[in-house]
Amino acid sequence: MAKNGRFLVSLVGVAAVVTYLIWTGVSQTMQYYMTPSELVAKTIVDPSFHRVGVKVGGRIVSGSYLKGDGFHGFTVEDPEQLNVTVPVEYRGDLPDTFNDRPEMIVDAVMEGRFRTDGVFEATTVLTKCGSRYEASPEALKAG
Amino acid sequence: MNVLGELALWIALPVALLGTVLGFVAGRHQRGDLQLGAERSVYAVFGLTILASAGIISNFLNDRFEYLYTASYSNRELDVFYKVAGLWSGQRGSLLFWLLFLMLFSSICVWTNRNKNREFMPYVVGILGAVASFFLTILLFADVNPYEKLGFTPANGQGLNPQLQSYWMTIHPPMLYMGFTSFTVPFAFAIAALVSGRLDSRWIEVTRRWILLSWFFLAIGIVLGMRWAYEELGWGGYWFWDPVENASLLPWLSATAFLHSIQIQESRGMLRVWNMFLVILTFTLTIFATFLTRSGLIESVHSFAQELKIAYIFLSFLFVIVASGAVLILWRLPELKSDNQIESFLSREAAFLFNNLMLLGVLFAVLWGTLFPLISEGLTGEKISVGPPFFNRVNIPIGLILLALTGVGPVIAWRRASKQNIKKSFTVPVGVGLAVAGGLFAIGVRHGYALATFGISSFVMAVIVIEFFKGTRARARIENENWAIAFAHLIARNRRRWGGYVVHAGVVVMFSGIAGSSFNVNIRQTLEPGESAVIPSPLGHEYKLTYEGMSTTSATASNSNNNFAFQLVALLRVENDGKQLPTLTTEKRGYIAQDQPTTEVGIRSSFLEDLYVILSDVADLRSAIMNEPDAQTATFTFMVNPLVGWIWYGGMTVALGGLIGLWPSVSGAPVRAPVLSSARTREPVPVGAAGD
């Protein structure tokens, strides 16, 4: 019995180590994941948010893509609050699924920093097609 | 065909429900006649599902774009190959495809057990019917019916996402789905054991090969997904800790834990409750994974209202599984007591138990990280996410311990290892591991985790090689065979054990391949035709890549794939330390019905490293397609990925080991479980330890 007790203690020990790893892992790598309107609201309340890295998910505004000098520029909007838009600058490779055609609904998840000039400087851009690549009936009618 | 297919789905649901009820009633009242009916309902649902699937495929082949699903994932020009694969290109079809595999495996299970395991079978059939009913309910009532009509007929479909037009992507989902669905059989037997009260290890013996089969398909599916990401997504990596990737990893982790812990129950009669927990957990995770990948709960930026219905149905089902599993285990708790207790830390039981804990630790970390945005939003109202840095931070140390246990577990003695056993088993391997790590340090490798991985990998590999060597030598002596025959007989006599070693060897090779990514080189450069980029390899040599310009094929004439609008190919001459190598190409491709071009990377693989080139950007794409000579400026990303090939070699080795373990059931040879397991324990442990 004593041996089993000792064994239990070691199991608890392992569990504690794993918990510790997860705990510190989360606290040291976590990022706020916000919509464009949350991002704008948050930085108004707390300007220090311009300095921390955040993750923002928004919908690519149709026709907003432009090629800058060495960077890609586009705008994302909040699908639930269409009046809030955030311009984005990105210097990496855009994913192949990036699209700003009006009949395509493409969401972008970006990591980066919201500069004080109101431009989001992205370090990574991932795209998620709305409703998992499924076309909307309107799009099919248009095509 | 299409009308028949849709009708088949509507008939299948009541048949599946009827089978469920008949199964449970037959079990409760020992009614053979009802049981026969229940079993026939499984075959009937299988037949109906085949009809429904065939209807979808015929919709694709006949370009029936009046159906939303067909219009969303196909167009007239799509290759026939991808039209057939249309069945699993999108969410709606995938759910049907899932059901198709579930019914295939259910039918095989019912057929192979038609004359045996009668104490379990009524409940097994009942559970299989219940799972089928659940998926049929989703298909018919959660707005995901693949037969939903648009109300008008578009001239052409949207076409298939080009990234999914890849050989890997076509075989990757079926593998995963086979892994997910085949695990329903062990789960059904476990529940049948709990309900019927036959709680010895019989349910494990019966389903052992199903467990291995499921694990095997999951492993292959995951590696194929990595391979697809590496070739097709074009960012040089193969794993991004994306929710969808994580979803497939979770059930594999718990299935791996289960595969190990059942050995303790079979040999030592311990961990009965734990095994019940693991089998229910794994099944829950297969459903959860399907939910996560097919509902868009986590990946979507915003909640889509139309997805709520499917989410609620899935969550209710998950709740029912977990709750009923917990109630059943608690009810049978007194009968699930262990025959034995763990006697020592230095024993195989202890090593396996730690292996289980580590695997569940990784599982929990991955699950936590994946769900963290939801959890934090629920608790604090703010969505907080964790990315690859979190997963790497937590999982690399745990993974290294697991890797080390891979070397310890199989050779340490049961019950209590003697000092002599440990010394004899581990002196040489530990020496090998230290020598490799020390050697790498001496030639300048300073990356801590990489050193640890290579050291531990060498240790484990040494253990495995020594085991094979000793086993073969012993057999060659005793049976007076030559070494090659002795080696083959050795494996054939205990496929489970030696197949397991082969799997471990594959895992070791994969770990080393993953560790290689610590030394990746990534250089981005814009070049004019004639200009060169010099890319240093971490192995000491230097690549010189000279950009020779672009060529286009704008028409469809030159290519068999008539779905291409254009192909823009950049040519790069490659020299390795001045030595000429074959030319590399990387492309931008335009597809009909998709106006955003896709990128095809150029990869030159060798045993030790891959040279990986991405055509990142073409300054003026439109003019470049027109072959205008002054529009050839292009930006490339050059990468050197050391040891990445080892991941694929390791994956193939894992698959080979899995096949060795599975072989007897594939050839239809009878499984003599009791003989096997007693042979296992009586077999003299080659290191002369105190085995029983």
Q: What is the DSSP secondary-structure string of B505-563?
A: HHHHHHHHHHHHGGG-EEEEEEE-TT-EEEEE-TTS-EEEEEEEEEEEE-SSTT-S-TT
State the pLDDT at residue B558: 42
Question: Chain A within 8 Å of B146 (Cβ-Cβ)?
Answer: no
Subunit contact B637:A18, Cβ cutoff 8 A: no
Q: Percentage of residues in chain B with pLDDT exceeding 70?
A: 92
Give the pLDDT band of residue B665 (cuts 50, 70, 90).
very low
Using CB atoms, pick whichever of B384, B596, B637 lies closest to residue A30. B384
Within 29-58 of A, beta carbons closer than 8 Å to B belong to 29-35, 55, 57-58
State the pLDDT at residue B410: 85
Chain A environment of B361 (Cβ under 8 Å): 14-15, 18
Residues A74 and A21 in one domain: no
Neighbouring-strand partners of residue B524: B637
Sorted by where each begins, the domain ranges of chain B are 1-165, 184-337+348-397, 410-517+647-682, 529-632
Chain A environment of B338 (Cβ under 8 Å): none
Total tally of structural domains belonging to chain A: 2
Mean local confidence (pLDDT), B87-111? 94
Question: Chain B within 8 Å of A109 (Cβ-Cβ)?
Answer: yes
Residues A104 and A123 in one domain: yes
State the pLDDT at residue A1: 45
Helices (H), B269-339: 272-295, 308-331
Residues A98 and A60 in one domain: yes
Residues A25 and A41 in one domain: no
Mean local confidence (pLDDT), B446-463? 94
- Interval A6-62: pLDDT, tens: 777 877 888 898 899 999 988 888 888 888 988 998 888 888 888 888 989 888 998
Who wins on pLDDT, B571 or B425? B571
Residues A124 and A85 in one domain: yes
Chain B environment of A93 (Cβ under 8 Å): 234-235, 599, 614, 616-617, 637
Subunit contact B158:A31, Cβ cutoff 8 A: no
Within 69-88 of A, beta carbons closer than 8 Å to B belong to 79-80
* Helix or strand (DSSP H, E) at B492: helix B483-493
Start-to-end CA span in chain B (Å): 62
Chain B environment of A97 (Cβ under 8 Å): 161, 163, 596
A46 contact partners, CB below 8 Å, separation of at least 6? none
Question: Chain A within 8 Å of B396 (Cβ-Cβ)?
Answer: no
Cβ proximity of B182 and B210 under 8 Å: yes
Residues A43 and A111 in one domain: yes
Within 262-321 of B, beta carbons closer than 8 Å to A belong to 296, 299-302, 304, 306-307
Phi, psi for A114 (deg, rounded to 5): -95, 100
Mean local confidence (pLDDT), B83-87? 93
The ipTM is: 0.83
Subunit contact B389:A137, Cβ cutoff 8 A: no
- Which of A60, A65, A96 is the best mutation test for B, with the most CBs of B within 10 A? A96
Residues A47 and A64 in one domain: yes
A120 contact partners, CB below 8 Å, separation of at least 6? A39, A56, A76, A86, A87, A88, A89, A110, A112, A113, A114
Q: Please tell me which residue of chain A has the smallest CA distance to B361.
A: A18
Neighbouring-strand partners of residue B238: none
Give the pLDDT band of residue B297 (cuts 50, 70, 90).
low
Question: Chain B within 8 Å of A11 (Cβ-Cβ)?
Answer: yes
Residue B692 predicted with pLDDT over 80 = no
Subunit contact A35:B302, Cβ cutoff 8 A: yes
Residue B531 predicted with pLDDT over 90 = yes
Cβ proximity of B411 and B461 under 8 Å: no
- Interval B324-365: pLDDT, tens: 999 999 999 988 888 777 777 788 888 888 899 899 999 999
Residues A60 and A112 in one domain: yes
- Interval B250-293: pLDDT, tens: 999 999 999 999 998 988 888 889 999 999 999 999 999 988 87
Residue A134 predicted with pLDDT over 70 = no
Residues A93 and A127 in one domain: yes
**How far off is chain A from B568, nearest CA to CA, in Å?**
15
Using CB atoms, pick whichever of B233, B364, B390 lies closest to residue A29. B390
Question: Chain A within 8 Å of B148 (Cβ-Cβ)?
Answer: no
State the pLDDT at residue A126: 83
Subunit contact B398:A21, Cβ cutoff 8 A: yes
Sign of CA dihedral B125, B128, B133, B136: negative
Question: Chain A within 8 Å of B374 (Cβ-Cβ)?
Answer: no
Who wins on pLDDT, B394 or A130? B394
Alpha-carbon span B181 to B276, nearest angstrom: 18
| pTM (2 d.p.) | 0.89
**How far off is chain A from B592, nearest CA to CA, in Å?**
12
Give the pLDDT band of residue A94 (cuts 50, 70, 90).
confident
Who wins on pLDDT, A11 or A73? A73
Cβ proximity of B258 and B405 under 8 Å: no
Mean local confidence (pLDDT), B604-611? 94
Q: Please tell me which residue of chain A has the smallest CA distance to B592.
A: A143
Who wins on pLDDT, B688 or B600? B600
**How far off is chain B from A97, nearest CA to CA, in Å?**
7
Tokens found for residue B623: 């003019």
Question: Chain A within 8 Å of B93 (Cβ-Cβ)?
Answer: no
Question: Chain B within 8 Å of A131 (Cβ-Cβ)?
Answer: yes
Residues A6 and A64 in one domain: no
Neighbouring-strand partners of residue B384: A32
State the pLDDT at residue A114: 92
Residues A126 and A71 in one domain: yes
State the pLDDT at residue A139: 58
Residue B685 predicted with pLDDT over 60 = no
- Which of B69, B158, B160 is the best mutation test for A, with the most CBs of A within 10 A? B158
B400 contact partners, CB below 8 Å, separation of at least 6? B449, B452, B453, B456
State the pLDDT at residue B671: 44
Q: What CATH number should be reported for the domain holding residue A109?
A: 2.40.50.140
Alpha-carbon span B105 to B182, nearest angstrom: 6
Give the pLDDT band of residue B669 (cuts 50, 70, 90).
very low
Residue B235 predicted with pLDDT over 90 = no
**How far off is chain B from A117, nearest CA to CA, in Å?**
24
Using CB atoms, pick whichever of A11, A97, A137 lies closest to residue B357. A11
Provide the domain limits for residue A77.
Answer: 31-142
